Structure 1
Amino acid sequence: MELQTKIKKRRLGSSDLYVSALGLGCWQFSKGSGLVGRFWPVLDENDVRDIVRKSLEGGINWFDTAEVYGKGKSEEALANALHALGNQADSALIATKWWPLFRTANSLTGTIEERLRALQGREIDLYQIHQPFSFSGVRAQMHAMAELLQSRKIRHAGVSNFNAAKMREAHAALGEHGFPLVSNQVKYSLLDRRIEENGILDAAKELGITIIAYSPLEQGILSGKFHQNPELIRNITGPRKYMPQFKSAGLEKTRPLIDLLARLADEYGVTSSQIALNWTIQFHGDTVLAIPGASKVRHAEENIGALQFELSPAHLRQIDEVSREVNAR
């Protein structure tokens, strides 16, 4: 637990939550259930507990899960792990998400008890709309979120995959009830920088909304291991191996960035993944957090290591430049 005092916390939006710059993404705790749960191999309870324990010991104090991750199995697995860890998990914060597709905003309030049961009564510190498509508009969703906030079923509200206009609309609608929108969880990495061009990042900075970056390592591509040994792609389980970035052309396109990350990793005495994560949470100041996953304890250890150094301004700019060149190809 000694490492926890060394990790600086950031304020999540304008909330009263202070979180580590990296959280733990918990999609991989889905137990192979449901359509999206099949993306990852099944982890047993001991593995999940050890990953959560190691994350907490290293100063990571929040965990991001969702209803759709294994139809609640990820929430249950996370809750089981936190309960098994006892006092060690007292300070752990939980972010989860409501799945809106083919539902109305009434489902937000109507299903909240299911979320709390899956989490075994642990508090929902951040509740997020997983994506903007439902039978109800953004305003109706935010009015339902306000009900949950007023009844103290949840502590704070966020969104996920909202574009700039919908994020602004959600912020305004929630503000009518006196509550802030604190976060927008979106895909962002050195290989996917769309939020810098489409207005999402600018709006977040203007409104004081935190960006939570998912897939910050692009499903492992930024680790460099698939460039070093493409044979590893054959052993990937689930649909990930069929993504364009895992094809020969995709690997060749991203090689200049991967080579730079590897050189800097040697210079700092860390790994390429840690360089990529450190850039993600540093380049835009305190605005961007990230939620890498971990399917093994060593992955959790690597996440922790990304919080224990800072890239120099010159190296931040160098990575930025090469990333832009690669993405422009």
Structure 2
Amino acid sequence: MKNGKSELLSIQGAGGMIEPGSLSMTLGQTDVRVSRLGIGAMVWGDMSTAPRWNPARNAYGPTSTADDQRAALDVSLSAGINLVDTAAMYGKGASERRVGELTAGRDVVVATKFPFGPFSRASSLPATLDGSLARLRRTTIDLYQVHYPVRWMSIPTLMNLMADAVEAGKIRAVGVSNYSAEQMRTAHAELARRGQVLASNQVQYSLLHRDPETDGVLDACRELGVTLIAYMPLASGALTGKYSAATRPAGWRRYSRPFRSENLANLVDLLGEVGDRHDRSPSQVALRWLIQQDGVLPIPGAKNTAQAAQNAGALSFTLDDADVEALSWATEADR
């Protein structure tokens, strides 16, 4: 793995305050301070209890052990990464339980999501939140997010329940996930009526999935001072350089959009070329491209030490403007 280090160039992001010389930022306009890179913990925990169709069980191959996940967290914390993202839905609470076990007594910013299941109602949010607090072994959750919008859960109702939880001291910041620009504005306005702010919107964003740039979400985040948390920042592993059209991953990933992209082979070659100039791997270059977008915070998954160390390497170098432009131009068709 390419691990050379250099001084990080800090960026002023509209979706969070980034101080000169710092590897951290505020989460939106809150006082929650997070690293410029997080950890996605979707596959942490005992996934044998998850439904067979659950992505946490099927999409990314066999899960790792508790020791592997503890080591991944240790490596990440040592590199200055302090944000761990999970959800009540992942493995029917298995991921939250593991995150709670591994982060107990440690200085970690924990983010999780409501609801627990796909047919939940807005009225179940308070009880679901209490369940997450118990599984996470915490009295307060740093970032509580609505996992996805559904027509039977009113956004104003959800935001008022979130605001109640903030006032009760059960959560520090309110976020959403998979919200459109319009849905974000509705959530933001409802929270503002309660004197609170929308901290983040977690959406899919990578070099192979640049929809947030064209659907208005990234612009709305910057306008409202909301951090865009980028999930699947390595496009399900397509940007790691491990796979090709001839060598696809096992599981559901092999059928996903990134692995069907006609541009994948050329992009991986370009990531390799840029990486060679900086003594970095393709995945580190792909993550760094996101980090250098104003107000964007990627959360790649890390099942073990090797993956965690690989991800952390994205924090210790800076892409040249020409590199950023070349990568952006090469994936213009994915906008």
After TM superposition, is the score higher than 0.5? Answer: yes
> What does residue 113 of structure 2 align with?
97
How many angstroms does 1:244 deviate by?
A: 4.3
Mark the CA change 1:190 to 1:220 in structure 2 (over 3 Å): closer, same or farther: same
Q: Which has the higher contact order (CA 8 A, sep 6+)?
A: 2
How is 1:43-54 mapped onto 2 (pairs within 5 angstroms)?
43-54=64-75
Give the unaligned 5+ runs of structure 1.
none
Task: Find the partner of 1:307 among 312, 315, 324.
Answer: 315
Instruction: Check whether the contact 2:181–2:217 (CA below 8 A) recurs between aligned residues.
Output: yes
Partner of 2:242: 225
User: Is 1:262 aligned to residue 278 of structure 2?
Assistant: no
Alignment of 1:208-223 (within 5 A): 208-223=225-240
Task: Report if the CA contact (8 A) 1:27-1:74 is conserved.
Answer: yes
Counterparts of 1:305 and 1:122, CA distance in 2: 32
2:87 corresponds in structure 1 to 66
**Could you give the per-residue CA deviations for residues 203-222 of structure 1, whole angstroms, max 9, x where no partner exists?**
11000000000000001101
1:297 aligns with 2:305: yes
Match of 2:23 among 1, 4, 8: 8
CA distance in 1: counterparts of 2:135 and 2:152, whole angstroms: 25
3-state SS of paired residue (2:131): helix
> Which amino acid counterpart does residue 274 of structure 1 have in structure 2?
Q
Instruction: Tell me the equivalent position of 2:11.
Output: none
How many angstroms apart in 1 are the aligned matches of 2:162 and 2:24? Answer: 26
Give the aligned partner of residue 12 of structure 2.
none
1:323 counterpart residue number: 331
Q: Confirm or deny: 8 A CA contact 2:43 2:57 kept in the other structure.
A: no
Q: Judging by fraction of residues, say which structure has more helix.
A: 1
Partner residue of 1:130 out of 144, 147, 168: 147
- Summarize the Cα distance change of 1:244–1:168 in structure 2 as closer, same or farther, 3 Å threshold: closer
CA contact (8 A) 1:7 1:307 kept: no
- Decide which of 155, 175, 194 is 2:172's aligned counterpart: 155
Task: Pick which of 48-57 and 113-122 moved more.
Answer: 113-122
Q: Do structure 1's residue 82 and structure 2's residue 86 form an aligned pair? A: no
CA deviation map 1:67-113 (0-9, x unaligned): 01101100111111123xx5xx2x21100000273222211112221
Contact 1:104 1:136 survives alignment (8 Å): yes
> Equivalent residue for 2:34?
19
Query: In the alignment, is the contact (CA less than 8 A) between 2:126 and 2:161 conserved in 1?
Result: yes
* 2:75 is equivalent to residue 57 of structure 1: no
Q: Please tell me whether residue 240 in structure 1 is matched to residue 243 in structure 2.
A: no
Scaled by the length of structure 2, the TM-score of the pair is: 0.88
Q: Distance in 2 between matches of 1:17 and 1:144?
A: 20
What SS is found at the alignment partner of 1:63?
strand
In structure 2, how many angstroms separate the alpha carbons of the residues matched to 1:192 and 1:243?
A: 12
The answer as to whether partners of 2:45 and 2:66 remain within 8 angstroms in 1 is: no
Unpaired stretches in structure 2, ≥5 consecutive residues = 1-5, 9-20
Aligned length: 310
Alignment match of 1:280 (pick from 290, 293, 317): 290
Q: Is the 8 A contact 2:229 2:296 kept in 1?
A: yes
SS of the residue 1:152 aligns to = coil
Residues 218 and 55 of structure 1: CA distance in aligned 2, closer, same or farther (over 3 Å): same
Cα shift readout 1:216-239 (whole Å, capped 9, x = no counterpart): 000110112112x834x3xx4432
1:58, distance to aligned residue in structure 2 (A):
0.9
Q: In structure 2, what is the equivalent of residue 164 of structure 1? A: 181
The CA RMSD measured in Å over matched residues stands at 1.9
Equivalence for 2:16: none
Paired residue secondary structure (2:277): helix
